Every structure is written in structure tokens, then in C-alpha cells.
Amino acid sequence: MINMKTGRIIKNVSNQYTIDTGTETIVALPRGNMRKGHIPVVGDLVEFESFGKTNRIHRILPRKNRLLRPAVANVDQALIVTSLYDPDFSDHLLNRLIFLVCLEDVEPVLCITKCDLSKNKEYEKKLAPYEKAGYTIVYSYPGSNDDALKKLLAGKISVLCGQSGAGKSSLLNRLDPHFQLQTQAISKALGRGKHTTRHCALYPIANGWVVDTPGFSSLDLQLINTDDLDKKIKDFVPYIGHCRFKDCKHLKEPDCAVKLAVETGEINPTIYEDYRQIKEELWKIR
């Protein structure tokens, strides 16, 4: 008898999919005739059928989004892990990661680390323009109260991004001391090279799921279509549609509402500057 169930793919190792149904964890293979280009990825909600001990993925439920690197679907948010020191805070890098995340229709969450290395609260000034624009910001360091962060993670799929050394692994280990053990065990079982290319998994953390490999490199901005970037930047959204020209790119055009808001201090000037730089860099390449 065929028995159709629904679950979330939480792991993919060489086309063997681990599915979590909420009550059980099973391993399934895709149906033989699933079309190329429409194969299941981690994060997908799928319908699968069980005949005896065999489970076959039958159908992928509609996706909210689909990242290429790492290959994950239905990502709710990206934790942009940014340290204040070592590596030093860079609004330039932070802005570019924000752009990439927004271009993929993923909600950015700014996660500021190494606050314990700051003698004063000077850093709050650096973050003020982001807070004003409506970004969610959490601060984390050894011994911090991470309740707000845990609440943000609950019930969602999150991907972490940020420079090497920013504190991504430390953060996850703080939230769940088992995290490191799990990732190390998997790397060991698969061998180093394969870990990044063929394996991807969701880890249960704080009642939510976290993708085990970091996503979003600021280099990817060159590969991605940035046509709609202005409409996806939170800082710009209130001003979109108020420029003289409907197709205003907010660069050299007259009567631009975005540029006016930058001049009057309503829009974070570094966000605008990075937007302008990216648009001009891409012009040179294309």
C-alpha cells in the first residue's frame, strides 16, 4: 500500500536525502523520473511515499527561494556575522553582504560579535544607521545573553555568512555545544574535500535549523543580476517610486529621491556609496 507523507529535507549526501517529518527521520531517494534542474535540495519540503523499507521522494512543494551556494531552499534569514575587531569592522563588507542576501530574497540579520573586546560602546554609533533603517541587530560574545538570537532562530531556516574569523563557529557552539562535534564527525566521515562540495545539512539549533556551511561571498556580487538591487535595499525602499524618472538608477539622474535622502542624512551614506560603487564596477565589466 502506498503511503504519502510530507517532510523537510535536512541532509543530502550523494543523492541520499534525510527527511524530517516532525515525528520521525527517514532516508529517501528521489523518484527515478524527477526532471533534471528540479532535483530536491536541503531545505525543500517534499512529499514522499513509503513502500515497506523504501522511501521515494515524489514531489517538491513550491519553494520560497533557492540558494546556489550552499544549495539550500526555503532560507528564511541570513545571519551576517560581523566582528568589531580581528577582523576589524568593515561597513563596506557588511553592506555588500547585505546586498547579496537581499538580492536572494533572504532577510538579513546583523549579528555583531566580539563586543567583549570593546572598551566602550563606541560601536553602537557605527550600527546606528543600520538600526534606523530597520535592520535586526543582535550582539553576541562569550557570556552574552543570546535569548533574542535564539528567538530569531526558532522555527526558521538560517544560513550564516561573514568573514573567516568573524566568530561563526564560536557563535553556533555557544548556542549549542554539540554543534562542533556534529560538524567534525561529518567532515571526518566524508573526508575534507567532499565536505564543501557534496554534503549539505541543516542542524537543529534553538528550535530552528541552521545550514552547516557558510553562504554568500562578497565576490558573488559580480555574478548575480543586480537590476532590482535598489528595490531590495531596506534603506532605499521608502524612496523608491518618488524619483522623477520611473526607471531611475539613482546615479546621475536629476530629481532623485534616493540621492536627496542621502544628502539630507536620511539614508545611510555608506550604503549608498557601496550601491553606487557596485553599479559602476558592473558597468565596467559588462
Contact pick of 141, 203, 209, 216 for ligand GDP (by CB under 6 A):
141
- Phi/psi of residue 255, nearest 5 degrees: 50, 50
> Quick one: 57 or 110, whose CB is closer to ligand GDP?
110
Min separation Cβ 144 and ligand GDP, Å? 8
Sketch the per residue contact string, 147 through 176, with Mg ion: x for CB under 5 A, - otherwise: ---------------------xx-------
> Is there a contact between 127 and 94 (Cβ–Cβ < 8 Å)?
no
Sketch the per residue contact string, 123 through 162, with Zn ion: x for CB under 5 A, - otherwise: ----------------------------------------
Residues 6+ apart with CB under 8 A from 78: 97, 101, 106, 107, 108, 109, 158, 159, 160, 161, 215, 216
Min separation Cβ 195 and ligand GDP, Å? 14
258 binds, among ligand GDP, Mg ion, Zn ion, none (CB under 5 to 8 A by kind): Zn ion
Query: Position 150: which residue type?
Result: K
Q: What is the largest CA-CA distance in the chain?
A: 68
Contact pick of 168, 199, 250, 259 for ligand GDP (by CB under 6 A):
168
Cα 92 from Cα 208, distance rounded (Å): 30
Sketch the per residue contact string, 225 through 264, with Zn ion: x for CB under 5 A, - otherwise: ------------------x----x-x-----x-x------
117 binds, among Zn ion, ligand GDP, Mg ion, none (CB under 5 to 8 A by kind): ligand GDP
Min separation Cβ 173 and ligand GDP, Å? 8
Task: Let me know how long the chain is.
Answer: 286
> Quick one: 87 or 129, whose CB is closer to ligand GDP?
87
Contact pick of 116, 131, 263, 280 for ligand GDP (by CB under 6 A):
116
Asked if 191 touches ligand GDP (CB under 6 A), the answer is no
Count CA atoms within 13 Å of residue 20 on its CB side. 15
Residues 6+ apart with CB under 8 A from 58: 4, 31, 46, 47, 48, 49
Cα 258 from Cα 251, distance rounded (Å): 9
Burial 200-225 (b: 16+ CB within 10 A, else e): bbbbebbebbbbbbbbbebebbeeee
Interface residues toward ligand GDP, by CB under 6 A = 113-114, 116-117, 141-142, 162, 164-170
Interface residues toward Mg ion, by CB under 5 A = 168-169
